[in-house]
Amino acid sequence: MLRVTFEILPGGSEERKRVIGLMELALIKLHPNGMADYAVAMTKCPPFKGALKAAWRKGGVMSDGEAINRAIAGEDEELIVALAEGHHRTRRGCYDLLLRALKACGMEARQ
């Protein structure tokens, strides 16, 4: 599992930093060619432990291996669940996976 924490540092102050978002990614399918699919859960904060765990509890992630229930409702959605498909685990790094996860969550369409 990979966890990305988004923090804001008002005026660059480390002492006043606060967490404003959380993204968790979990490998759900590894393909023979080295490609992989990841379940993605992204939430605004206040953070709670386990965005992905909460998504499973709410039924936002299905384990059938075919689909993830995409809960994208707009800018103020508290929890977004998506499927990031086709990431090559040895040829691409964590930033490529983060970009793929953001796109899967619909962030590209918000520009």
* Type and span of the H or E element at 97: helix 94-104
Number of domains in the chain: 1
Residue 37, domain extent: 2-110
pLDDT of residue 13: 93
* pLDDT higher than 70, residue 86: yes
**pTM for the model:** 0.69
* pLDDT higher than 80, residue 3: yes
DSSP letter for each residue of 12-73: G-STT-EEEEEEEEEEEEE-TTSEEEEEEEEEESS--S-HHHHHHHTT-S-TTSS-------
pLDDT of residue 64: 47
The more confident residue out of 40 and 107 is 40
pLDDT of residue 55: 62
Query: Residue 93 and residue 85: Cα distance in Å, rounded?
Result: 14
- Tell me the pLDDT tens digit for each residue of 27-84: 999 999 999 999 998 887 764 555 566 665 665 555 444 434 443 333 445 788 888 9
